[in-house]
Chains A and B, each alone.
Chain A
Amino acid sequence: NAGVTQTPKFRVLKTGQSMTLLCAQDMNHEYMYWYRQDPGMGLRLIHYSVGEGTTAKGEVPDGYNVSRLKKQNFLLGLESAAPSQTSVYFCASGRGQGAPGYTFGSGTRLTVV
C-alpha cells in the first residue's frame, strides 16, 4: 500500500525554468493538498482540490498552478521558478477537510538557483 507518492524527491532548477511536481494517492481520497515547508514557518497551503476536476487557492498560491484531471493525481506546476520558491513541497490527501486527518507524501526538496 503506497499511500501518497511524490516525484521527484529532489530537483535543482535555474531561475526562470519551469517544472511539474507529481503527486499520486491510492486511497481513493477526494481531497488533495499541496503544502510548502520552510524553516520556522511550518506548512503553508498552496492549492487544494476537493474532487476530480476542481482546484482552489490556499494561503500562498502566487507563482504556482495545479491540475486534478484524475482523482488519484494532483499536479503542482511552477511556470517560472524564482529563488523564493526554494522549499520542501508536500502533497497530502484526505477523506475530508480537516478531520479525520491527512496522509502526507515524503516530500520534494526543490532548490532554485
Chain B
Amino acid sequence: TQLLEQSPQFLSIQEGENLTVYCNSSSVFSSLQWYRQEPGEGPVLLVTVVTGGEVKKLKRLTFQFGDARKDSSLHITAAQPGDTGLYLCAGFFNDMRFGAGTRLTVKP
C-alpha cells in the first residue's frame, strides 16, 4: 500500500493545454517535495513546501500544499513538450516516502 497516492497515473495532453496532478495521503507530512524524472536519469527536485496552505510558483508550474498538510497539487499552465516526464511527490514522515508518480506526455 502506497503511503502517498498520486493521480492520475498517466496523462497525455496536447501542447498548450493546462493540467493538474494530485498527491494525497491519510497522514500529515512535515514537508513535501515534487520531483521530475526523465528516462535514464535520477529525479530532479522542483520544489519543497513545508507550511499548510503554501503556494509556490516556478515559471508555468504552480505547487500547492493542502491546509492540513495531507495533500498537494501541481498545476502546469500551457504545457510544452519539454514538460514530458515522470512527476513524483515525496513526503517526509519518519523518512522520505515517494508516490508512484504521474507519467506526463505532452504532444506537439
Which residues of A are interface residues toward B (Cβ below 8 A)?
A: 4, 33, 35, 40-45, 48, 58-59, 90, 92, 97-107
- Min distance, Cβ B15 to any Cβ of chain A, angstroms: 27
**Chain B residues touching A, range:** 20 to 34
Contact A102 B96 (CB under 8 A): yes
The closest CB in chain A to the CB of B44 belongs to A104
A24–B95 Cα gap in the complex (Å)? Answer: 21
Q: How far apart are B88's CB and chain A's nearest CB, in angstroms?
A: 7
Contact A106–B96 (Cβ < 8 Å): no
Residue in B44, B92, B99, B100 whose beta carbon sits within 8 Å of that of A98 in the complex = B92
CA distance A66 to B77 in the complex (A): 43
List, in ascending order, chain B residues with CB within 8 A of A43's CB.
43, 88, 90, 98
Contact A104 B43 (CB under 8 A): yes
Q: Mark B73-92, 1 if CB is under 8 A from A, else 0.
A: 00000000000000010101
How distant is the Cα of A102 from the Cα of B32 in the complex, in angstroms?
A: 12
